[in-house]
Every structure is written in structure tokens, then in C-alpha cells.
Structure 1
């Protein structure tokens, strides 16, 4: 268990990194060293998406899990070895997907521009393209991130699905996101899904905040007994449009038809309920704000200049 003092020091380091690097990235960073970098990533993502439409939501989630631990430094991509562990060994990351896709994109970048494009930049571009492939608004990604040289499972302190919303809002605020921006990022649940283990307790111990028809349907799908992760069923957050970035998620919140407790709480919490109602009624506003929030997310705590490294293979350090 990491002490509160160590956690505080890590948070200070993250906030200092955010302040120091927010202006350091540049959309033209690879103009000389890899001018086709964005096209290479986009073409690869298009091929991967049409082969597996579940990949794009997984890449968006992968970016979040990377950026909110040590900043956007591709530390979540490191594979544990007998010599050292990594963030991928932490429980919140056991259900992450998309690592093979990142490796494939990186191989394409290395073939065109050896040792030029960082894995952190590749992942940020992949997430941007994932949003666009799912029907969201395309946004600019400033580039120049460097890859981290540390990946520690004990630093993975992402909010649990059963966390209280006040704690989650404080967690996001510590990383520079307002309550409104947090609600917008919750909108990533417009796509993708969750294992039943994330919300089964709401089915077996009803909290009165879930639509009863949905609860019964999910109980049929999930069952009442806890299951190993590899056999635990999964279901879409938004069964109506599971592969489309839209504002339907917020309408579901207002109808008590959402799976995660923290999401449902956002519909009634005084700091977030007005934003949920606004985005439920304003599809264009959500689309714009979601892209802006994703762009901000991809800039959290980045490394630049001589910090870190540019990995040749995203799943392992250069040395």
C-alpha cells in the first residue's frame, strides 16, 4: 500500500508536469521527422476498426487508463516481466484491451519513421481516430509526448465503478477537470461496455436507483453469482447505439437505465445533474465538448523534451 505522503508527492509531480508541458506540444511536431505519422495511424485504425468494431471503444478506455496514472506517457502499455511488474498487473487494468492494436500501429510507424514517433503520441492519435470512427467530432492532437520509463502497479488508483461521485469529482479535479468536464468524459460510456462484476451488486442488492426492468434483464444476463473474469459476462453501456458516439447515454441516466452506480449518481448530484440534463437535450453541444475533453485528456501530465524516451516497441522499455 502506497502511503498518503507518497501519493501526495506523486500528485504534486503530476500537476507540475501538467503545468510545465501544457504549452509544449505542437500539432506540427513530426513535420520534419515523420510527416505522414497521422495518416499512418489513421489508415491503420481504419483497417483495425472494420475488422473489429469493438476496438475503438477499447482504445478510448486505454487512453484514459494511461493518462490518469503518471500522465499520458504510455506506461500502461508495458508488459510485466519476471524482473519488473507494470501497471497492466493492477486489477483495474485487467480488462483493458487494444494492446495488440497499439503494437500494430507502432510497427507501421517504425517502418516509415524509425525511432521518431513515441508510443504516447501513437495512443493519443489512435484515441482521436477512434472517436472519429465512432461518429464523434474529429479534433486536433498536439504532439511531442515522450514515453515513460516507469510503470508501477501500485500507482494505479483509478476510481472503482462503485466509488462515490464526490470522490470521483475530487479525483478528476486533481487532474484539472471541472465537474462539467467530468460529466462530459463520463460520456465515453456512450460506447463500449462493462463486465457484470462492475455492477452485479446493484442487481442483487437493489439500491432503488436502477430501472426495475433493466435490473431484471441484467440479472438474467449476469446471474447472481460472482464469476472469474474470463467467464464473467459483459454487456454494453448503451445497448441502443453501442458503437456510436452520441448523447443517448445522458438520456439513459435521466431514465435510471445505466449500469454503474457512479454514472447514475451524476444524474441527481447537485454539481453534475444540470450538466447531465443539458447534454441529454443538446446532442451537438455534447459532440463538441466530448472532443474538447478528449483533447484535454490526451495532454495530462505529458513528458517532453529530453524526459523519458521514444520506445521502439510499445510493450517494453528500450533498455
Structure 2
């Protein structure tokens, strides 16, 4: 019995190591010209779809940046987060950290356009990576190259969704990112995604009414958020939300870092970054360097989009992003 238990532990450790190695993969076999023969207009098709949807609903672009993160940090960038749950099987969408995700319809629209032009050629994982890149650009960020050739995963399990909570301690979050191949500096840069979008009050309401271990929130902001959120917890579908950066909520810029240094941020983990010895110098640098932030944010997003990808004959190329082919 002891031998069997020991074997199970060893197997689990090996599986964990394999997962971390896969998450740290950089997608070196991907190629910006991957669809040159099979779908040469793939990038333009996704961009045109995103541009049309962005001017109809500017909240979609921040949602797609978040959607890419939630996909890539669970099983890698394999579009597993796009699978819709059914009565027969669940999926990552059903996990609590993914309840408020949006942007699925935008990826579906891009995929329909791709299928009309190039049936069966472009994966949903590539469609999402391109859509997120276009979202960054449409919000004023630097355009970056997206290497292509990702394949779509054939597994989407809500129990595998292990993402940092908004109230997590920064040390734990830094360890989480490090296990996936991101340095403290790159983690600070990816935190910069909070230059756009917002959060439900449930993510930070506890900071408004009790001791704040992440650093005291600016009192004016605290009072404003208490007026917006109220003190009582609410169901997610009725819980108010607030912008991370109310000054420029739909612009990728470095204003977020200046807010961190003024204690005017919603999430505890973000606020900790302004004073933690491993991250504070990076926060100060990007608060003072708007051009450097724009460039590094695009580089970090490009690296994120390559995390743990499936290539070659692995996985599949879905016909519809919300369901497996079989």
C-alpha cells in the first residue's frame, strides 16, 4: 500500500512538471507565414471583424485581452476556454474565475469569416491570438507580430482552471507567473492590461470596509467605490463594476502605473506591486516611461500568446470554436 501511494505521488509530480514545462514553451515552431498558402488573408479577416465590432462595442477589446490570458494560462493557448458547456460535459467556462468572461461572440464572428474564406484552415486558438493582438492595437497599443500555427485543444475541464484570485498575495502571484516562464518584470508589464477594462465590486469590496493588507486605498477613491459598490455582497449578475483606470478606460497607456503609486487602484495584488521589492522599481519605471510600457506590453502579450501551444498533429482545427469537431 505504501509503495502504491508513493507511486501515485511520483506520477502526480511528474505530471505537474510536464505541465509546467509545457506552459513555459515559447511556440518556437510557430510562423508568421503559417497560412501563406492555405489562408493568406487570415490576419486581415480577423482584423476587419475586430475593427467592425470594436466601433460597435468598445468594451469588447479589453474583454478579448482578458480572454486570451484566461485561455493561455490554463493548458496553454489552445482555445480550451472557448468550449461551451453542454448537458453532457462541462468546460472551463463553468469555472468560477471564468464566470464574467466576455468576447466569445467576437471570436466566433472572426472564425465564421475565416471559415467562409478558408474552410478548415485557421484554428480557433490562432483566431483568438490574432483578435487579442488587434484589440491591443485598437486600444492604442503597439501592433506586434503573431506567429501562427496553434492547434485547438480537445479537453476543457473546469477543475483545471487555477488562476490567481483578485485578493491573492503578490508573492503567490509572482510564483504563479514564474512557473509559467514570466519574470517579475514581465508580470508587472502584464498587470498593465488593467490599463483597460474593469472589475466587479466583488473583487475588491472587502478593501472598502475592512483592513487592507495590500496597502491603504486612497480615501477619495475608497469613498467613491463604496458609493458605487455598496457594502453588501451581491450576485455577480447584479454586482456593479468599476473601471481599473477611470481616466482612460479604453486606452492602452501607462496611467495605470501612476495610479498604483498613488494608491488609486482597485485590486490588492496590483497595489502590492507598487511597494514589493521585486516589482516596485518596475512600477516606477513604467509610470515614468509611456513609450517603454507600450513596447514591453506588446512584447509580453506576444510571449503570452505563445504559452504552451499545441502544434503539428496535436489537437485539432475546430470548425466551430465553441465545440469540438467530434
CA contact (8 A) 2:61 2:136 kept: yes
CA contact (8 A) 1:73 1:146 kept: yes
Matches of 2:5 and 2:91, distance apart in 1: 15
In 2 relative to 1, CA 246–85 (structure 1 residues): closer, same or farther, beyond 3 Å? same
Give the C-alpha shift of residue 2 in structure 1.
Answer: 16
Matches of 2:136 and 2:5, distance apart in 1: 35
In the alignment, which of 121, 126, 146 is matched to residue 151 of structure 2? 146
**What's the TM-score, normalizing by structure 1?**
0.97
In 2 relative to 1, CA 166–49 (structure 1 residues): closer, same or farther, beyond 3 Å? same
Partner of 1:124: 129
CA contact (8 A) 1:2 1:154 kept: no
More moved, 199-208 vs 159-168: 199-208
Unmatched tracts of structure 1, length 5 or more: none
Give the C-alpha shift of residue 13 in structure 1.
Answer: 2.7
SS at match of 1:274: helix
How large is the Cα RMSD of the aligned pairs?
2.2
Give the C-alpha shift of residue 23 in structure 1.
Answer: 1.1
Give the C-alpha shift of residue 83 in structure 1.
Answer: 1.2
In the alignment, which of 49, 65, 84 is matched to residue 70 of structure 2? 65
Unmatched tracts of structure 2, length 5 or more: none
**What's the TM-score, normalizing by structure 2?**
0.95
Q: Does 1:100 align with 2:105?
A: yes
In 2 relative to 1, CA 20–200 (structure 1 residues): closer, same or farther, beyond 3 Å? closer
Query: What is the count of residue pairs matched by the alignment?
Result: 319
In 2 relative to 1, CA 94–282 (structure 1 residues): closer, same or farther, beyond 3 Å? same
CA contact (8 A) 1:18 1:299 kept: no
CA contact (8 A) 1:21 1:304 kept: no
More moved, 202-211 vs 167-176: 202-211
Give the C-alpha shift of residue 8 in structure 1.
Answer: 4.6
CA contact (8 A) 2:24 2:179 kept: no
Matches of 1:3 and 1:287, distance apart in 2: 49
Cα deviation 1:189-215 (Å, max 9, x = unaligned): 000000000000000114252001100
In 2 relative to 1, CA 2–147 (structure 1 residues): closer, same or farther, beyond 3 Å? farther
In 2 relative to 1, CA 107–169 (structure 1 residues): closer, same or farther, beyond 3 Å? same
